Structure formats: structure tokens, C-alpha cells
Amino acid sequence: MRLRNPFGRKTQEFPSHLWTQCPSCGEMLFNKQLERNHSVCQKCGHHFKLGALARIELLADPKSFSETDADMVSSDPLGFVDSKPYPERIAAARAKSGHKDAVLTGNAQISGIPVVLAVMDFEFMGGSMGSVVGEKITRAAERAFSERKPLVIVSASGGARMQEGTIALMQLAKTVAAVARLDEAAIPFISVLTDPTTGGVLASFASLGDIVLAEPGALIGFSGARVTSETIGEKLPKGFQRSEFLLEHGFVDQVVPRTQLKERIAFFLNAFRVAGQDLRWSL
Amino acid sequence: MSMLDRIVGSRRAADGNGHVAVEAGLVTDATQLASARPTPWQTVQTARNIARPHALDIINRVFERFHELHGDRSFRDDPAIVGGIAELAGRPVMVVGQQKGSSTEENIQRNFGMPYPEGYRKAMRLYRLAQKFHLPLVTLVDTPGAYPGPEAEERGQAEAIASSIQLMTRLGVPVVVVVLGEGGSGGALALGVGDVVLALENATYSVISPEGCAAILWRSASEAERAAVAMKLAGPDLLETGVADALIREPAGGAHTDHDATAAAIKTALVAQIDRLSRVPVADLLSLRYERFRSFGMFVEPNGGAAPEPPAPWWRRILKNPLEKGGL
């Protein structure tokens, strides 16, 4: 006979702080196990969104990451107020995500190769790019340029930050100008697109990697799916704007599962480094 | 003082990132404008007015002997972007612009000035051509945004815009941008990276359309008027943020009332700017263009960007650095 508490609420079978349901296959996943598997569903391989810190842990060698420009915070260039003032939104996002803005940048090593690493976090206002993200990405690219280190950027962003208006739009040109100099100086730039990478971030530096990698099933596109379906007045096909769609149309080099991401990046960086050291080219 | 400053004249302001000569009859300070300014929402309506002069109206009045060049050499010719070689006061230049229609039929043919990726790839082909033969580049921006349809996604709208911006940041010829009407987001910026960015008095430049902004932030497109105010997308705001270096005056009542006068004002400004910029060494142009876009951004750094001090190890905290006192 089962004992039950006649007064209290029925205990949940899967309390949400312990269990997560996979949106793709419906499997209940034990959170600790999910974390150990880098937020990838063990059953169907669905890739959950990964925070910036977990991403750095995934890609950088242990204890090799040292953050730069950690204190930079956004000011309110336009005095923007929608349903609440922009500074309040920033404060809420800081409390929610634990970061000061939507990107962490720093020096790191990937399988022993020194790189400049920038990782975006979707938790902070949808990973949107305003002045701070633009400036930190630009500084990261400039540091890669002056120290001749490869640049690796992991994007996760809804696009430009509307609350900073045209200043946010200008961040597209600013970041692109910085990675364009890397391109001219033949310093490798690897862009990793994760779920989601859309709008102004995809229309700037994220599309311009020497190598562009994407995580499986990530939403990647220029305009939001809602805008697109309203434009043509019909529903979009399944898999539209997903990583595999971009692979098929020739806009990403590979779709790489999260567990293989580090070794794949290391392989490409190593290939460029070894070839770059070959003296025959410089003679 | 850089090479460009000496040639071009004094900077607009100490903190401004533009370098525009004031004597060309341009507005470089919002106080020079009439005090009874239209509201931002009225400006948005004026910028979208179908009777407003569009790229070809301006090209045919400003330049002599314009010959259009077609196609991206890979997919098709996008009618929403026009470009070609023309003469500006006797000097050959490359001109590329976004073309809206002046009637509903033409708008359908021009896709309402919303380019597909192949339009941007055509623009890039013309930029490269300009660089190869040292033709100064003039771009005319007038678009609600890049076309957001599924075919555009399939053909890489984002990649086309990103590559176009990248090419413009490193293009080794003088580039003058004129925003004629709507400067809609990334689709406008793909033609908008220049040494000098000018805008017509009633032009707008924004990260998203006011309707789009309202739909996302207020969850109602009818709040577009409020969004237009909050986004600071009109002429005086563009001067203030430095997005535009100077405004070109429109005839009283707006550019749509007199295409010839508008074109004449644009021509005066273009001739002066191209004349100055073509005397500047290319390396200086490129580094100043980099600095112009590098300087956008407003943020706060409590420690002036210095890395935070690493916490002292526990034994240091106990011993309080014995070495300073002459050792243990």
C-alpha cells in the first residue's frame, strides 16, 4: 500500500530543478547528466543552448582562459524607453545571466594553440549586439591582429540591440572592419554559429570566418522566421534556417556536433599554423 | 592632425568622427536647421514618400553620361540595385544605389527597393571594378531593408551583406555615401560604409523599421510613432550620433516637391567631397575610414579597461609582503 500525504501537494515526478525534458524527443533528462554531456540530449542528440561559461569550459583548455575587458558595461546612448527604460533591462539581464553584457572575450588556448576567444551568451538580452558587444569583439579582433593569434568567435545572438538604435547598427561595420584586417593579414578567423545566430550578427562578423562551423539544428538566418513567413504569407518548410539548411545552400563549411567542436577547431587552427610555418611560402 | 584633416579642413567637432568641409553648403549642426522641425514620424513618412526622388532620378540629374551596368555574373540582375559608370562634373565615377519605384508597377518590378543577395553581389562586383580602375565610388542608400523572403535566405542574404560591408571597409578608392530616403538596417549599411556619409535633410537611418521595433518591444505595430521617436532615426539625431557627417538641405516642403533642386544640392556636395577625397593618399583614406566606424559606441569602463587585479594568495595576505621589510 502506498503512503501519501493527504495535506501536501502531490510530489512532482520530475521536479524541474533536477530534470529537463528534451524538446525534440520528449525524453526526461537528469540535469547533472545533461550538464556532463555539454547540454546535448543523450537520446536524440538535441543541442540545448549553452551559456558562455560552459562554452568556454567546452572549448578552452582547463584554466587557460583569461578574460579581457571584463568590466565594460553599456551606457544608454539614446535614453531609450519602451515598456521599461533600457538601463532597467540591462540590470535585469545582468541579474538573470550573471554577465555584464552578451559576450565574454579573452585569451585562451585550444588544444595548446593560443587564440583570442569570444563567446556570446544568449541569456543576456537575446545575445543582442550593442556598443559593448561591438567594442569587445572589435578589441578581440584587434588583439588577434596585433599579437598574430587566431580568432575564434562563438555566436549566439538575435541580432543588433534595438535599444541602442543606429549606434547598434554601426557595430556591424565596426566589427566587420576589424575582422577584415585579419583577413588581409592572413590571420585565421574561425566563426562558430550556435542556436540562434540571426540578424545583424549573422550579417556581420559571424558570416565572415575563414571557416564557418555550425552546431546541429541551430537556427541561423538573416530575418526572423515570423517576418519571412509574413512576407510570403505562408508557413515555412520544416528545417528552414537550420544549420543543415545553410550547409545545403553553401553558407557553412561543416555542421559539427558539440562534443567534436574543440578537436575540429584545433585541427583547422593547427593546419593553418603548420602551413604558415612552412618556409617555402615565404621565400 | 592627420593628412586628411589638413586637406579636408577642420573637423566638425573635436569628438566627431566625420571630416566634411562646411563650405559646401551642408548642415553639420542641428542648430543650423529650421527650428520648426517635423516630428520623427513625419520624417519617416517624408522619407517614404513615393514622389521622392529615387536613385535613378538623382543619378540622371547629378551625373552626365550615366551608363548602367547589369548583373552579378553569377545568378541574375537585381533591379532593386542600380549601378554604373558616369561622369560627375567631368570626372568618371562609379555610382551604385538602391532603386525604389515611383509607381506601384515599378515598385513591384523593383521589389520596393529591397535587394536580394544577388543585388549586393552586383554592388560588390561594381565596387571591385571601381577599385581596379581607380574610380571614386558614390553610393545612394534608399531601402526599407534587405528582402527578407525565403529565396533571399537560401541565397545567403546575411553573407552578402557582411561581405559587402567588408569590401567597403577596405576599398582603396574614395567612397561617398548619400542617404536619400530610408536607410533600413543592414540592407542599407551594405552600401553605407564610406569616407563621408551624407544624408538628405528628411532621410532616416535606423537599425529596424519603426513598425518592426514597435512590434517587438511594444508588441503592437501601432506604436510605431513612439518607436520612431525613441529610435532617434531622423536627420538631427544622425548628426548628433555621427552616423551622418552632414545633411544636405532639401527644398522647402521636402525633396519630392522639386527633384531638380534636390539633385543640384546633392551635386554640389558630391563634387566638393570627391574633389577633396581624391587628393588623399589611399592608405590615409583607409585608416581614417577604419577610425570613423571604429569610434561608434557608448560604454563605460570602471577601470579604464585595465584587467582586474588578481586576488592575492592566502599566504601573502597573512604575511603582508615580508620582502618589502627586508626579508624574513
H or E segment at A230?
Answer: helix A225-232
Rounded to two decimals, the pTM is 0.89
CB B108 within 8 A of CB B147: no
Within a 13 Å sphere around the CA of A144, how many CA atoms are in the beta-carbon half?
A: 35
Residue B117 has pLDDT above 50, yes or no: yes
Residue A3 has pLDDT above 70, yes or no: no
Residue B11 has pLDDT above 50, yes or no: no
Q: What is the percent of chain B where pLDDT is above 90?
A: 67
Give pLDDT, residue B8: 39
Among B45-54, B178-187, B201-210, B303-312, the least confident range = B303-312
Give pLDDT, residue A185: 92
Digit-coded pLDDT (tens) for A105-143: 999 999 999 999 999 999 999 999 999 999 999 999 999
Among A26-40, A177-191, A222-236, the least confident range = A222-236
Residue B154 in any domain: the answer is yes
Pairwise CB contact (< 8 Å): A71 & B308? yes
Residue B167 in any domain: the answer is yes
Of A199, A103, A186, A124, whose CA–CA distance to A151 is shortest?
A186
CB nearest to A241's CB, from B153, B233, B297:
B153
Residue B26 in any domain: the answer is yes
Q: What does the radius of gyration of chain A's CA atoms come to, in whole angstroms?
A: 21
More confident residue, A29 or A279: A29
**Is B112 within 8 Å of chain A by CB?**
no
Digit-coded pLDDT (tens) for A128-187: 999 999 999 999 999 999 999 999 999 999 999 999 999 999 999 999 999 999 999 999
CB nearest to B170's CB, from A180, A200, A227:
A180
CA distance A176 to B119: 20
| All three cell numbers of B86 | 558616369
Nearest CA in chain A to B302: A71
CA distance A79 to B229: 11
| All three cell numbers of A53 | 561559461
Give pLDDT, residue B219: 80
CA distance B124 to B310: 48
Read off the pLDDT of each residue in A257-262 and give the average, rounded to a whole number: 95
Question: What is the CA B227 to chain-centroid distance, rounded?
Answer: 21
Give pLDDT, residue B165: 97
Read off the pLDDT of each residue in A186-206 and give the average, rounded to a whole number: 95
3-state secondary structure of B27: strand
Pairwise CB contact (< 8 Å): B149 & A167? no
Q: What is the CATH number of the domain that holds B34?
A: 3.90.226.10
Give pLDDT, residue A281: 56
Contact list, A132 vs chain B (CB under 8 Å): 297, 299
Domain that holds residue B308: 3-316
CB nearest to B231's CB, from A135, A165, A245:
A165
CB nearest to B298's CB, from A70, A131, A240:
A131
DSSP 8-state symbol, B15: T
CB B247 within 8 A of CB B27: yes
**Is B208 within 8 Å of chain A by CB?**
yes
ipTM of the complex: 0.91
Give pLDDT, residue B214: 87
Contact list, B230 vs chain A (CB under 8 Å): 78, 80-82, 165
Name the most confidently modeled range: A71-85, A251-265, B5-19. Answer: A251-265
CB A111 within 8 A of CB A61: yes
Q: What is the percent of chain A where pLDDT is above 90?
A: 71
- Report residue A81: phi and psi, to 5°: -130, 120
Nearest CA in chain B to A66: B307
Give pLDDT, residue A274: 80
Pairwise CB contact (< 8 Å): B162 & A203? yes
Residue B299 in any domain: the answer is yes
Read off the pLDDT of each residue in B6-11 and give the average, rounded to a whole number: 36
Where does the pLDDT of residue B14 fall: very low under 50, low under 70, confident under 90, or very high at 90 and above?
very low
Where does the pLDDT of residue B36 fall: very low under 50, low under 70, confident under 90, or very high at 90 and above?
confident
Among A76-80, A186-190, A208-212, B205-209, the least confident range = A76-80
Residue A198 has pLDDT above 60, yes or no: yes
Give pLDDT, residue B15: 38
Residue B321 in any domain: the answer is no
Among A106-110, B121-125, B311-315, the least confident range = B311-315
CA distance A235 to A251: 23
Give pLDDT, residue A82: 80
DSSP letters spanning B255-309: GGG-HHHHHHHHHHHHHHHHHHHTTS-HHHHHHHHHHHHHT---EE-TTTTPPPP
* Residue A29, C-beta contacts closer than 8 angstroms, at least 6 positions apart: A19, A20, A21, A22, A41, A42, A43
CA distance B180 to A176: 24
Read off the pLDDT of each residue in A229-243 and give the average, rounded to a whole number: 80
Contact list, B147 vs chain A (CB under 8 Å): 231
Residue B4 has pLDDT above 60, yes or no: no
Selected residues 150-169 of chain B with any CB under 8 Å from a CB in chain A:
150, 152-159, 161-163, 165-166, 169
Residue B246 in any domain: the answer is yes
Give pLDDT, residue B264: 94
* Residue A78, C-beta contacts closer than 8 angstroms, at least 6 positions apart: A86, A163, A164, A165, A167, B230, B231, B232
Residue B7 has pLDDT above 50, yes or no: no
Digit-coded pLDDT (tens) for B71-111: 999 999 999 999 999 999 999 999 999 999 999 999 999 99
Q: What is the percent of chain A where pLDDT is above 70?
A: 93
Give pLDDT, residue A142: 96
Residue B309 in any domain: the answer is yes
CA distance B123 to A105: 34
Which residue shows C-alpha cell 571614386?
B136
Where does the pLDDT of residue B305 fall: very low under 50, low under 70, confident under 90, or very high at 90 and above?
low
Residue A29 has pLDDT above 50, yes or no: yes
Domain count, chain B: 1
CA distance A103 to B151: 31
Residue B30 in any domain: the answer is yes
Chains A & B: contacts with CB separation below 8 Å: 201
Read off the pLDDT of each residue in A28-54 and give the average, rounded to a whole number: 91
Residue A201 has pLDDT above 90, yes or no: yes
Residue B35 has pLDDT above 90, yes or no: no
> A28-30 and A19-21: which strand pairing?
antiparallel
* Residue B77, C-beta contacts closer than 8 angstroms, at least 6 positions apart: B70, B71, B118, B122
Among A89-93, B7-11, B182-186, B311-315, the least confident range = B7-11
Residue B26 has pLDDT above 60, yes or no: yes
Give pLDDT, residue B308: 62
CA distance B118 to B126: 12
Give pLDDT, residue B2: 43
Give pLDDT, residue B302: 79
Contact list, B205 vs chain A (CB under 8 Å): 166, 169
Q: Spell out the domains of chain A, with CATH numbers in brackets.
A: 50-274 (3.90.226.10)
The number of beta carbons lying within 10 Å of the beta carbon of residue A183 is 16
**Which of A135, A176, A197 is best to mutate for the B interface (most B CBs within 10 A)?**
A176
* Residue A221, C-beta contacts closer than 8 angstroms, at least 6 positions apart: A198, A202, A228, A240, A241, B153, B158
CA distance A255 to A242: 10
